[in-house]
Amino acid sequence: MRIFLILFLFTQSSCIFYSFKGISIPPDVDTFYVEDFNVSKRARNSPSDISQKFAEALRRKVTNESRLQYVETDPHINFSGEIVDYSVNSVAPEEGNTTALNRLEIRIKVNFSNTLKEDDDWSNNFSFFQDYDSSADLQSIEDGLIDDIFIQLTEDVFNKAFTNW
């Protein structure tokens, strides 16, 4: 009897919203699409494939952590935007006009649209950075830094889209 009651309550609550790890997706939303992001003039010094890499990272995040299916035509949810800034700056100054650390920072603008409920549409900027030893060669560690930054950026975008934070 208890098992029946628990199963009944679980199935009834799941009819309202899909919830996993604190996310809420209305039951009528089944599909999503992520466009390749544009690269702004301020991010011209970024790797040439950064927009595709970010779009792919966001696709993986949504696919792996939601029930939504990726489609290229008529999606319920659409993500678009641009890489707004890609910069390397010196931080942690040391004596003798040197620095101990450099900082790679990436700023993105994301446009979110829900074709089923336009009131949920938004546009937001997100940024994150990784510090690295100033003696390191950026080209040799750049891909790893970008991957680490994208982990946080996709988490932030996902949370904004599906947890209303």
| pLDDT per residue as tens digits for the range 52-83 | 999 999 999 999 999 999 999 999 999 999 99
Pairing of strands 38-39, 77-94: parallel
The closest alpha carbon to 157, from 93, 71, 66, belongs to 66
Q: How confident is the model at residue 90 (pLDDT cuts 50, 70, 90)?
A: confident
More confident residue, 112 or 100: 112
DSSP per residue over 32-85, as a string?
EEEPPPEE-GGGTTS-TTHHHHHHHHHHHHHHHHSSPEE-SSS-SEEEEEEEEE
Kindly report the number of other CB atoms within 10 A of residue 62's CB atom: 23
Q: Where exactly are the structural domains of the chain?
A: 30-162
Helix (H, G, I), strand (E, B) or coil at 107: strand
Amino acid at 128: F
| CATH number for region 30-162 | 3.30.160.150
Q: Is 134 exposed, middle or buried (0-12, 13-18, 19+ CB in 10 A)?
A: middle
pLDDT at residue 108 is higher than 70 = yes
Q: Do residues 126 and 108 touch, judged by C-beta distance below 8 A?
A: yes
Q: Is 11's pLDDT higher than 50?
A: no
**pLDDT higher than 60, residue 14:** no
Quick one: average pLDDT of 15-33? 71
In this prediction, residue 97 has a pLDDT band, given cuts at 50, 70 and 90, of low
Question: Residue 163 has what pLDDT?
Answer: 86
Please name which of 103, 108, 64 lies closest in space to residue 85, comparing C-alpha atoms: 108
Confidence (pLDDT) at 23:
78
**109-113 mean pLDDT:** 98
The string of pLDDT tens digits covering residues 130-149 is: 999 988 999 999 999 999 99
